[in-house]
Amino acid sequence: MSATPHAPESARIAVRRHPERGVYDRAAVHGIIDEALICHLGIVQDGQPFVMPIIHVRMEERLYFHGSHASRLLRAIAAGQPACATFTHLDGLVLARTGFNHSMNYRSAVALGSGGEVIEFEEKVRVLDALIEHVVPGRVADLPKPTKSEIDATMVVWLAIEEASAKVRQGPSLDPPPGNAAPIWTGVLPLAVVAGAAEPDAHLPQGLAVPHYVARIHDLGIRRCRR
């Protein structure tokens, strides 16, 4: 972990372009990771990079992933290969007076590290519960305990966050003052992930209410969009 919150831990994670957008404070990086519902996880195999979207959960300084035992990505992580995990929040479209100055507002994080496989049964259950809670907080309490065959069929791996950076762009375009330039609309179009209304399965018994934790995601999403 970085000794000073605003300095990169190594040259390879130092944001070079717009260094003022670089953030290395672990709490800020964790916040970006934890808010993300998915991650893009990259490995190199036989000289070929592969980057796949995957669900994650962070616990302390480790990221956890799950999937099939046949997953190339997970097998590579289990074998200790170095990996790169990227997390992206798209906060807005930035429309400028020139195409050159168009941009996006975002918060993104990059974590580098290596890890291994989670083997122990109870540890796997703990991680799988945490994955569900990361996506739908409150859900696990309503679910039956996973069976041994479900756990055995699932590969669980961890990746240490050995080095991490974040990059944050917010605000309007970098246009110079307009002067006598022809009037053209410029500004920011905010974007956010918003949950729609819950769609119950057709076979649910009449009157079974949408759980409070599902309704909460919907309400939070609407509020976030209107902020």
Ligand X SMILES: Cc1cc2nc3c(=O)[nH]c(=O)nc-3n(C[C@H](O)[C@H](O)[C@H](O)COP(=O)(O)OP(=O)(O)OC[C@H]3O[C@@H](n4cnc5c(N)ncnc54)[C@H](O)[C@@H]3O)c2cc1C
Q: How many helices (H) and strands (E) does the chain have?
A: 5, 11
Closest approach, Cβ 77 to ligand X, in A, equals: 19
> For residue 203, with 0-12 CB atoms within 10 Å meaning exposed, 13-18 middle and 19 or more buried, which class applies?
exposed
Out of 76, 110, 155, 156, the only residue in the binding site for ligand X (CB under 6 A) is: 110
Establish if 106 lies at the interface with ligand X (CB under 6 A): yes
Residue whose CB is less far from ligand X, 129 or 162: 162
Q: How far apart are CA 221 and CA 218, in angstroms?
A: 5
User: What are the respective helix, strand and coil percentages of the chain, to the nearest 5?
Assistant: 30, 30, 40
Of the candidate residues 13, 94, 156, 157, the single one contacting ligand X (CB under 6 A):
13
If one asks whether residue 166 binds ligand X (CB under 6 A), the answer comes out as yes
Q: Does 17 bind ligand X (CB under 6 A)?
A: yes
Dist. CA 225–CA 227, nearest whole Å = 6
Largest CA distance in the chain: 71
Residue 142 identity: D
Instruction: Considering only the stretches 14-22, 114-122, 181-189, 213-221, report the one whose residues sit in contact with ligand X under the rule CB under 6 A.
Output: 14-22
Binding residue for ligand X, selected from 96, 104, 192, 195, defined by CB under 6 A? 104
For ligand X, the closer CB: 107 or 124: 107
Chain residues that interact with ligand X, rule: CB under 6 A:
12-17, 88, 90, 104, 106, 108-110, 165-167
